[in-house]
Structure 1
Amino acid sequence: MITAELIGNVWATRKADRLQGYKLMLAEVIGSTQAGQRMVVVDQIGAGIGDRVLVVCGSSARRMVGNDDVPIDAAVIGIIDGDCII
């Protein structure tokens, strides 16, 4: 699990059929040795740009969306409270 800040939305004019209906966002890693690295994440919990979030990768991300056949590698699993220090 990593911490990140959502910095933008990602729109894909064409994408794999299995990705239809998923909200894609651009996240920047914070609070680790990977700080500054960016990744595309799936958000199903209603986070928005500027939110600090918890992100899981790999099979944990696919479990978050409830389908191991979806081609995703990162998903938002929580929104970090504003008063937490990272």
Structure 2
Amino acid sequence: MLLGKVSGSVWSTRKDEKLNGWKFMVVQVWDTETKEQKKSLIAADNAGAGIGDMVLITQGQAARISAEKMDVPIDAMIVGIVDSLDTEN
């Protein structure tokens, strides 16, 4: 599972029909140890996230399980919105 911050949204009128109805967000993935941005990715949103929200992201098969459809071509899914984050450092 990854931790990230939603930085934008993606709108696509032409896509695989199995993606119809899904909201897609741009997420900046964070390294929890260094607190630095690692990369950005596009994730389907299953939690109702908005721009600026800190989110939990699953990838691969876990993302498709969250979609409840194994044939959906989704590789990353926002599965939770983080309310708070406490770390030792």
Same fold (TM over 0.5): yes
Task: Please tell me whether residue 27 in structure 1 is matched to residue 9 in structure 2.
Answer: no
Post-superposition offset of 1:31: 2.8
Tell me the residue number matched to 1:50.
Answer: 52
In structure 2, stretches of 5+ residues that fail to align are none
Give the match for residue 36 of structure 1: 38
1:21-79 deviations in whole A, cap 9, x for unaligned? 00001000013478330100010211110000000000000000100000000001111
Structure 1 residue runs of 4 or more that deviate by more than 3 Å after TM superposition: none
Greater Rg by CA: 2
Larger deviation, residues 49-58 vs 29-38: 29-38
Given the two structures, how large is their TM-score scaled by the length of structure 2? 0.87
Looking at structure 2, the residues matched to 13 and 85 of structure 1 have their Cα atoms a distance apart, in angstroms, of 39
Of all paired residues, the percent bearing the same amino acid is 40
Q: Which one-letter code corresponds to 2:64 in the other structure?
A: R
Query: Number of aligned pairs?
Result: 85
Counterparts of 2:29 and 2:78 in 1: how far apart (Å)?
12
Deviation at 1:84, TM superposition (A): 1.8
Aligned-pair Cα RMSD in Å: 1.6
Counterpart residue identity of residue 22, structure 2:
Y
Gaps of 5+ in 1: none
TM-score by length of 1: 0.90
Inter-partner Cα distance in structure 1 for 2:38 and 2:5:
10
1:18 matched to which residue of 2?
18
